[in-house]
Amino acid sequence: MSRDLHTTAGKIEDLRARVEEAVHAGSARAVEKQHAKGKHTARERIEMLVDQDSFTEIDEFARHRSTQFGMEHNRPYGDGVVIGTATVDGRPIALYSQDFTIMGGSLGEVHAEKIVKIAAFALKSGIPLVGINDSGGARIQEGVASLSGYGKIFRLNTRSSGVIPQISLILGPCAGGSAYSPALTDFTVMVNETSHMFITGPDVIKTVTGEEVDMEELGGARTHNTRTGNSHYLAENEADAIDYVKALLSYLPSNNMDSAPHLPPTESLDTKPSDTALDTLIPDNTNQPYDMKVLIQALVDEGEFLEVHALYAPNIVVGFARIEGESIGIIANQPSQLAGTLDINSSEKAARFLRFCDAFNIPILTLVDVPGFLPGTEQEWDGIIRRGAKLLYAYAEASVPLVTLITRKAYGGAFIVMGSKYLGSDINFAWPTAEIAVMGAQGAVNILYRKDLAEAADPVSKRTELVNDYNESLANPYLAAERGTIDTVIEPNQSRAYITKAFRTLRTKRDTLPARKHGNIPL
């Protein structure tokens, strides 16, 4: 039906028609194919993420300006990306959602301009930015214009780092230059067997190197969650991925000048069964593992812990929780994985998490049971000195409240690195089971008493005697407590009360770093 554009009513009808066209810019066939893959459309994903009726779209009428390769005959509204603002649990966010049903979600000049526009708005407004990525990559027909768009996005990602939280959802392909934007954001979430992220695809790799690899093995969600560490959560489906992002946002402030959402305290400090159970958490055999997550759940509100990077470097555990309704970050050695040793991957994982928390004023609780750094030529040659130093740097640089609890082993340089007093931790506790020393008893006895053991009539009983003597005199928390390295030794069942009171005391902490442009972290 024709509309009379000379009347107000006609112009309103024209607007409504254009909005309808913009909302349904992707063809019905493309939408059907998207659904057949178990994927939602760009707008459906936004509806799943944000509060009902809270989304305000921006630039829905934007169109590309390309005239090459017949592009002038295909100019859909939106140019393959939906941008705007909304609320999640009543808190404002900015977001973009790439639309694979329109030119494969490819990034052209206008597409990039829209992402830059909403990212700049998020930075200026001090609100989190959530990017939903589902794109075939750069739009070849637009040449260098699409490449320049990537550069502008990367620069804004970098400028926003440490100022507003940035979260990337990978819900389809994210190839070539597109992959660098999620790498520059704070958290990346991928969906198993749906998300793929790589710089060069399987065909290019085969052509150049002769290697044969499929997309899933090369850059699938499981690969990036277990091997590369590029993804922080492996979701079973899109709904799971979006739920994780919503949970993540609930622990984060809107910007680096704001505070994280505070929930009313729900628990008293009276001893409860989960507290007393900690008295038997540590096995009598110091080489027997236990699950550090049991301790985490006993210490935090409602036992709720949102783990980050759960499948990557599992010998260290990081994630968010609350104590008395306040958001905290937790870094904990995991004795059930590689005995809780620090290696390259775990050091980088913990350092990245710690620096995020420090940037956004989230206090850190460190739980220590670390026998040392993982030995081996592979670790040494791959750069454990430089890359392990990242965690040391992150702790030494941090100015947020830092509370540390040593449960068992705290040996050598790893003891120093894991939130020690020497690196600036504010309050340090230890259990009576703590072993704080240069090294474990067995190794120390081998070095200190090599001659005595060789000359002993009964080397086995002599070793047992020397090990016991070492443990009693050195491998305990009391020598450290005498020197103030440990503030107090506490019973395990008292941990929740002591840690809660420590964070209460530190709420008004102020720590100013020396004036400088930025430090030179050992990258």
Catalytic residue ranges: 176-177, 413-414
284's CB contacts (< 8 A; 6+ apart) are: none
Q: From CA 183, how far away is CA 459, in angstroms rounded?
A: 55
Sign of the alpha-carbon torsion through 102, 107, 109, 111: positive
CA 247 to each of CA 49, 158, 308, 321: distance values in angstroms, whole numbers, following the listed order: 11, 24, 11, 11
Q: What are phi and psi of 230, to 5 degrees?
A: -75, -20
User: Residue 347 pairs with which residues in a beta bridge?
Assistant: none
Tell which residue, 128, 119, 149, 140, has the closest CA to residue 69. Answer: 140
Q: Which two tokens stand for residue 292?
A: 């550090």
Q: From CA 454, how far away is CA 54, in angstroms rounded?
A: 77
Read off the amino acid at residue 73: H
Residues 502, 503, 509, CA angle at the centre, nearest 5°?
A: 105
Q: From CA 65, how far away is CA 34, in angstroms rounded?
A: 26
Q: Which two tokens stand for residue 60?
A: 């829905």
Specify the 3-state DSSP secondary structure of 433: coil
Q: Which two tokens stand for residue 239?
A: 């709904």
Tell which residue, 447, 386, 383, 374, has the closest CA to residue 411. Answer: 374
User: Residue 436 pairs with which residues in a beta bridge?
Assistant: 410, 476
Q: From CA 20, how far away is CA 24, in angstroms rounded?
A: 6
Relative to beta strand 316-323, strand 306-308 is: antiparallel
Asked if residues 407 and 434 have their Cβ atoms less than 8 Å apart, the reply is yes
Instruction: Please tell me what DSSP assigns to residue 67.
Output: -
User: Residue 410 pairs with which residues in a beta bridge?
Assistant: 370, 436
